[in-house]
Amino acid sequence: MEIRDCEEALQARIGYHFSNPALLRESLTHKSFSNEQHPGESVPHNERLEFLGDAVLDLVVSHGIFCDFPALPEGELTRIRAEVVSEKGLAAIARELRLGSCLLLGRGEERSGGREKESLVADGLEALLGAVFCDSGFDRVCSVIEALFGSAVALSASRKAGIDHKTRLQELLQARHGHPPVYVLTRTEGPDHQRLYTVEVRLDNRTIGMGQGRNKKGAEQAAACEALARMGV
């Protein structure tokens, strides 16, 4: 499919038609494509729009879940947002939109399967949202994001009870601090057939929870549960 046809189809899928088509083209242009152009040819790539789209997406999703789930504590709101705007979550929506087929990639990225890379399509979606914002402002990009991400938000909110303590803690700390916690086995007691393990979960060398169990996994879950309780989630 020609790039113009692909762009038309993508605009139909997101329910938005650009007033400035150059913004759409820029949002779909990977730096590998831009770098391969002839000297003197300036082809903007999508990294600046990706930066903007990331911020806009965070704000719109945060405001949406804040309004839609007034009874949820801050920790749960953070978990939902972290799931929805994660690279995996973005890539899933980008694939539904068949965004990868519209990307302009350099020859190396093309050969290495760039159209299927989660990082590339996720970044492309953020850039696309940044382009919508630049083209028509905040209210319009809000409606686009709500239409694209509404189902993912609802699904994430419904999964609260099904996510184990370790996973929930990791998602929260990853979203808040940028890295996961560390689990440390601090004590082993009892005979071989009836061991009792004690584990501490630490963040930046600070103990945030402690738990015990008949196996290491159980002790880690207990430690994560205590950490979540201390955090009020």
How confident is the model over 108-148, as pLDDT tens digits?
888 888 888 898 999 999 999 999 999 999 999 999 999 99
Q: For the chain, what is the domain count?
A: 2
Residue pointed to by tokens 């700390």: 173
Q: Any catalytic annotation for residue 7? A: no
Instruction: Identify the pLDDT of residue 128.
Output: 98
* Host domain of residue 207: 165-231
- Residues 156-181 have a mean pLDDT of 80
- Of the residues 7, 26, 54, 226, which is catalytic? 54
Residue 47: burial class (beta carbons within 10 Å; 0-12, 13-18, 19+): middle
Domain match, 224 and 190 both: yes
CB 31 within 8 A of CB 43: no
Domain match, 180 and 139 both: no
Q: Any catalytic annotation for residue 135? A: no
Instruction: Identify the pLDDT of residue 182.
Output: 96
| 102 alpha-carbon distance from chain centroid | 21
Global model pTM greater than 0.75? no
74: helix, strand or coil:
helix
Domain match, 123 and 172 both: no
Domain match, 218 and 199 both: yes
More confident residue, 193 or 64: 64
Rg (CA), the chain: 22
Q: Where are the beta strands (DSSP E) in the chain?
A: 182-189, 196-203, 206-213
Domain match, 88 and 118 both: yes
Domain match, 172 and 153 both: no
- Of the residues 126, 135, 171, 200, which is catalytic? 126
Tokens matching residue 10: 């993508």
Domain match, 135 and 179 both: no
Domain match, 19 and 131 both: yes
